[in-house]
Chain A
């Protein structure tokens, strides 16, 4: 089972994201820079596709988003973090093709494996993986992301 949605990439969102990771590389934010021109226009920071969450219809980590339907109950797991005891354990990207502002990406996510482990600090740990593909308007696969979330039995000790 795979869910998909559209993620239009605009320059302002790229700028906001780049600032939020303190990365104002001209290749990401200055269209007339030599760095951008060398890449056929602005490109995006390595973890930029995270901001596709704004367009994910059932995104669980924004409970205040105005919605036409009654808000879905907060869900956890399914890769990535979750409310409460969910934490993001791992994130992996493969880059196939650059993403440029103006692209309209189709984002398709499917669940991956699930497994359990006894944690050293957090009791029983339940891991779940999700695989997300970001494909541009020309049908070119740009990024494949693999996210692993973990549910812990209690708050992680520090």
Chain B
């Protein structure tokens, strides 16, 4: 494949004592795609995602953003390269408003004296930008952008977290189990949200245990096994049961005729 990857990894190794969580793991994400990452518990997929989002530092190997080798010292470091993560816990402050949460850690100050000397926030502008970002994703702010996040439903909170991730000129959004804690209806909305973000041209890495969800929204499926990428399958050519068989080792990558 000659297409330029937006985010990739080569030969990542991460050891915790005698346990090798990542064993020369590779990873590729192409522009505009939804890449699902699946794997059994303990396969090392969360270690890989943490390495890609800057939460852990791999012992060996390299991470490339648009072909250039980078090192992330923290999630903030990864964010500077436009890699935003929507954590399973969402990392929202429940008692604060939607607008406060959207701009947490990157608030906008007023221009002029009030901003420079008295560090006053430009709340009007932050509210307006939050509203714009939410409506872009089809999250209509009928009631109030000043609503506390805890007054929102699970799906709405997910929406706020995704809007925040998509708002700041980001290149990649990593979503960790976005539907795990949600009911059927709310999950549906979050899947739609993923497709909306994709339509904006933003690539998404989706970590999920839910096979029907993965097969519905993913363009490609990265199957992780024993600390490395076993293969990448196309949801159109691969049955759900085969994906599970690959994941658990009941089937080898050669049998499906696709490999990394």
The yes or no verdict on A and B being binding partners is no
User: Which residues of A are in contact with B by a Cβ distance under 8 Å?
Assistant: none
